[in-house]
Structure 1
Amino acid sequence: MSHLKVTGRISIPETELEESFIQASGPGGQNVNKVATAVQMRFDVAHSPSLPEEVRERLMAQLGPRLTNNGELVIDARRFRSRERNREDARERLAALIRKATQRPVPRRPTKPTKASKRRRLEAKKARGTIKRARAKPAED
């Protein structure tokens, strides 16, 4: 049984990928009307035993509306004229999505403005106020 290698620790067995071939639009001449070269690949993200739990959660959050109600990801690959190239393209795109989900997001560390930046901001405000006051009509005594 072959596997789709995603990372050193994650690989997806062929049995978890469901592929169907459909007619593609676009280039191909008369051949495009006769041969089903586009690939529609389905991968059950929600129930896949191959994905670690934290990767699954991040992947589902990243995909959001691209998932079906059952938690499946559907990838349409119709970029190339040959069925085999489209299969490879769909698999590469799935692997790239999973690879992206394996990276933990770096938590944001809140920072405070420096004294110098606060001083510059206040000076700029004062200067702007002075310019605006100079534009105003003089007050009558």
Structure 2
Amino acid sequence: MMIPVTNRISLDESELHEDFLRASGAGGQNVNKVETAVQLRFDVRNSPNLPEAVRERLERLSGRRLTKDGVLIISAQRHRTRERNRDDALERLIALIREAATPPPPIRRPTRPTRGSKERRLEGKSIRADVKKGRGRPSE
């Protein structure tokens, strides 16, 4: 089954691998016997569904979550149930891929201020200076 990410990108469910483990932190007696935390693994480098540009940006965005082999690991243990943690991990993966799929902003070309904008700026400064000059004690 395909998981839609964007209009052009969708992931095959067979590319995702889930491991379940015991969540850390508070949770009472249940925390020691139920494996509700999820580790979602996605092989970024070998995924046939990712374009090359998206793959490169995704590797850059992943940071410490990416292994040396190019596998992205997302851990989810916010919720008490396994199903909600699975959904949370999948949503975070999709959000990360969507962020990588957005094209980078165009390169800014440096421009110079126009003559008119310089004159307006200086005129505003002189008006402000006159206002401040008028705040002193009145002369006799």
Same-fold status (TM-score > 0.5) = yes
- Conservation of the 8 A alpha-carbon contact between 2:65 and 2:74: no
2:112 counterpart of 1:112: yes
Gaps of 5+ in 2: 126-140
Q: Distance in 2 between matches of 1:41 and 1:83?
A: 12
Residue pair 2:45, 2:71 contacting (<8 A) in 1 also = yes
Paired position in structure 1 for 2:46 = 47
65-74 vs 92-101, which moves further: 65-74
Instruction: Sort the Cα spacing of 1:108 and 1:22 in 2 relative to 1 into closer, same or farther, 3 A.
Output: same
Q: Which amino acid aligns with 2:81?
A: S
What whole-Å deviation, never above 9, does each CA across 1:53-96 have from its counterpart, x for those lacking one? 12111211222333111111110000000001000000000000
Q: Alpha-carbon deviation of 1:27?
A: 3.9
SS of equivalent residue, structure 1 residue 47: coil
Aligned residues between the structures: 126
Give distance in 2, aligned partners of 1:114 and 1:19. Answer: 58
**Structure 1 range deviating more: 4-13 or 45-54:** 4-13
Amino acid at match of 2:46: H
Deviations along 1:5-57, one digit per CA (max 9) or x if unpaired, are 21122111111111100110234321111101000111111111111112111
What amino acid does structure 2 have at the position aligned with 1:5? P
Unaligned runs of 5+ in 1: 125-141
Q: Secondary structure at the match of 1:51?
A: coil
TM-score by length of 1: 0.78
User: Which amino acid in the other structure matches residue 115 of structure 1?
Assistant: R
**Secondary structure of the residue that 2:23 maps to in structure 1?**
coil
**Contact preservation (8 Å) 1:21, 1:39:** yes
Aligned: 1:76 with 2:75: yes
| Bigger mean CA offset, 57-66 vs 74-83 | 57-66
Percent identity between matched residues is: 60
Amino acid at match of 1:77: A
Contact 1:27/1:81 (CA < 8 Å) preserved in 2? no
Change in 2 beyond 3 A, CA 1:66/1:118: farther
Residue type of the partner of 1:102?
A
SS of corresponding position for 2:55:
helix
SS in 1 for 2:18: strand
TM-score (normalizing by structure 2) = 0.78
Shift of 1:116: 4.1
